[in-house]
């Protein structure tokens, strides 16, 4: 499914409202190449306990933004958790960190941007914080803000732009 917007047009139309994530070379791994929605957040480091927990519950078209500290040592999402996100109605996931099972992720109707991939699964110690402000790429992601992601990049606004 292709979005009816592109981030450059949103930046042009709402230049005083958007915050552009910079300095991160995103890779698109999901079947949706562009996606957006209200933000929920997880802060975790190499432990995807909260990611798994949150994506197993109703997503209602939201986007889960994960601050994994940029680590590429352990994947924070793979095909099983991403498949669950599809079935529970999430629009997408943005990970400042790694994913795995990239061939399977590409087949799912889910937007998924990550810094990279690694075949090693996450550790699980029940750590992480849900729905707290997180920051990477020069942008603060607040729960309830809206995020838009496509091949041009990732932008954030305090309200829905489309």
Tens digits of per-residue pLDDT, 14-30?
Answer: 999 999 999 999 999 99
Element (H, E) at 98: strand 92-99
Contact by Cβ (8 Å): 41, 134: yes
Length of the chain counted residue by residue = 162
> Could you give the C-alpha distances from 51 to 7, 66, 146, in angstroms and in order?
26, 8, 19
Beta-bridge partners for 92: 63, 111
Contact by Cβ (8 Å): 42, 130: yes
User: For the residues 11-16, what does the mean pLDDT come to?
Assistant: 98
In the chain, % of residues over pLDDT 70: 99
pLDDT of 137: 98
Taking all residues of the chain, what is their mean pLDDT, rounded to a whole number? 97
pLDDT of 103: 98
In the chain, % of residues over pLDDT 90: 98
DSSP symbols for 16-78: TT-EE--S---EE-SSBSSEEEEEEEEE-SSB-HHHHHHHTS--TT-EEEEE-TT--SSBS--
Query: How many whole angstroms separate alpha carbon 18 and alpha carbon 153?
Result: 12
pLDDT at 3 over 90: no
Query: How many whole angstroms separate alpha carbon 114 and alpha carbon 98?
Result: 6
Question: What domains can be seen in the chain, in order of their start residue?
Answer: 7-157 (3.50.30.40)
| Digit-coded pLDDT (tens) for 81-115 | 999 999 999 999 999 999 999 999 999 999 999 99
């Amino acid at each position: 499914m292709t979005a009816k917007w592109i981030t450059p047009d949103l930046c042009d139309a709402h230049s005083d409202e958007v915050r552009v994530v910079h300095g991160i070379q995103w890779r698109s791994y999901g079947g949706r190449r562009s996606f957006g929605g209200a933000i929920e957040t997880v802060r975790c480091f190499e432990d995807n306990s909260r990611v798994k927990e949150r994506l197993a519950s109703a997503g209602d078209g939201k986007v889960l933004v994960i601050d994994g500290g940029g680590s590429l040592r352990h994947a924070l999402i793979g095909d099983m958790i991403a498949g669950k996100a599809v079935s529970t109605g999430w629009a997408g996931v943005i990970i400042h960190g790694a994913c795995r099972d990239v061939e399977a992720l590409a087949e799912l109707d889910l937007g998924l941007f990550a810094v990279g991939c690694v075949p090693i699964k996450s550790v699980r110690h029940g750590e992480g914080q849900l729905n707290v402000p997180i920051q990477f790429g020069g942008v603060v992601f607040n729960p309830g803000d809206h995020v838009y992601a496509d091949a041009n990049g990732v932008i954030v606004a305090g309200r829905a732009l489309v």
